[in-house]
């Protein structure tokens, strides 16, 4: 065996320490081969990997123009901006809802290049796991749950850009209410993890930072709900929409409440069954107003938010945009079916 002097050994050890310190720490995972299940810290979850995923009632059957939202990445502005009124009405009964970038979903079944998923956090009687719908398999990604930090950055503006590390080039435009795990703060920039576990940056002025989802504060006052909703005035209605690229009526109200950490049902007909019933003479800003067929006696088909002073804020229909109008406006005056309060 070769003889090595004590001095040479110390020199070798010092060089080895310096060499290892020059490289970032690498997480080493123990092999799970031969085990019945991975450790809890290595469990996997499935996330939406496009800015906005459109969920459909059935797999296939989409139009040529819908390729803009079937791809990776999607082109939401090109899709919504290129549709005629007739094109928008076509979506009714065919598109179900949307899921945002980084939102967790559970796969219910697979059919070719499509997956039916349940969107976590979108409450519905249709499925206890979340709102169901079909989307391209290419738009979801599987990640280890321990790949993300607990703290999160939540987009507060209509949309916001994620930037590449150079802080100059855009990576992706994401929607209001997009929540991504926070890496660290860098002056006026925030580093976040993408669903693909890449680090990107977003301007600090466009997001809120929370310790975790449970730490998101409720509105300081009821009028805060209305103030948040007003930033979308003029945004065109989009059937199935829950994003800053377009809302339907209940997507609008549920998204405003979600911004404040409050989960309410996704659909108007179910929103009308929860919360606390409120008489018209006791309305406060943020209360939800419901409208039904047959002069308010039939099935609920629309929801708006009370804005105060007899006014309501809503995303009305495919022919119009988010607006504030008097509650006494026809046909809403005739179809009024009651109000519910979710903020206690």
Catalytic residue, candidates 15, 148, 170, 302: 302
Distances (CA, A) of 138 to 31, 76, 135, 141, 219: 28, 17, 9, 8, 37
Phi, psi of 314 (to 5 degrees): -160, 165
Q: Given the residues 13, 15, 301, 314, select the one marked as catalytic.
A: 314
Instruction: Please confirm, yes or no, whether 15 is among the known catalytic residues.
Output: no
Please state, in angstroms and rounded to a whole number, the distance separating the CA atoms of residues 156 and 176.
Answer: 6
> What sign for the dihedral angle of Cα 158, 253, 86, 58?
positive
CB neighbour list of residue 38: distance below 8 Å, 6 or more residues apart? 32, 44
Active-site residue identified among 13, 148, 170, 249: 249
For residues 300 and 290, the answer to whether their CB atoms sit within 8 Å is yes
CA atoms of 246 and 179, how far apart (whole Å): 18
**161/339 Cα distance (integer angstroms):** 37
Structure tokens at 344: 């206690």
Active site residue 301: no
Tell me which residue has tokens 């109000």. 339
The SS3 assignment for 170 reads: strand
In this structure, are residues 98 and 92 in contact, taking their beta carbons and an 8 Å threshold?
Answer: no
Residues labelled catalytic: 249, 302, 314
């Amino acid at each position: 065996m070769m003889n090595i002097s004590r001095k040479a050994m110390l020199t070798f050890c010092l060089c080895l320490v310096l060499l290892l310190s020059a490289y970032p720490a690498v997480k080493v995972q123990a092999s799970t081969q031969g085990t019945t299940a991975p450790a809890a810290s290595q469990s996997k979850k499935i996330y939406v990997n496009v800015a906005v995923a459109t969920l459909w009632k059935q797999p296939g059957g989409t139009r040529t123009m819908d390729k803009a939202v079937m791809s990776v990445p999607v082109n939401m502005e090109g899709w919504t901006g290129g549709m005629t009124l007739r094109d928008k009405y076509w979506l009714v009964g065919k598109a179900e809802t949307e899921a945002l970038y980084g939102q967790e979903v559970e796969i219910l079944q697979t059919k070719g290049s499509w997956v039916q998923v349940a969107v976590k956090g979108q409450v519905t009687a249709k499925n206890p796991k979340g709102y169901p719908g079909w989307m391209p398999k290419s738009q979801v990604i599987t990640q280890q749950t321990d790949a993300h930090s607990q703290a999160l950055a939540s987009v507060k503006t209509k949309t916001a850009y994620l930037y590449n590390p150079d802080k100059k080039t855009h990576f992706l435009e994401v929607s209001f209410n997009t929540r991504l795990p926070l890496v660290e703060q860098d002056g006026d920039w925030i580093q976040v993890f993408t669903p693909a576990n890449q680090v990107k940056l977003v301007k600090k002025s466009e997001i809120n930072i929370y310790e975790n989802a449970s730490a998101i504060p409720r509105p300081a006052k009821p009028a805060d709900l209305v103030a948040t909703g007003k930033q979308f005035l003029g945004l065109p209605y989009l059937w199935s929409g829950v994003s800053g690229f377009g809302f339907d009526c209940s997507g609008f109200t549920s998204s405003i409440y979600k911004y404040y950490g409050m989960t309410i049902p996704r659909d108007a007909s179910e929103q009308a069954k929860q919360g606390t019933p409120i008489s018209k003479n006791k309305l406060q800003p943020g209360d939800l107003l419901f409208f039904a067929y047959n002069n308010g006696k039939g099935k609920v088909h629309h929801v708006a938010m009370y804005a105060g002073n007899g006014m309501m804020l809503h995303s009305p229909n495919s022919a119009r945009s988010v607006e504030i109008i008097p509650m006494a406006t026809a046909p809403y005056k005739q179809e009024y079916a009651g109000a519910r309060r979710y903020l206690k």
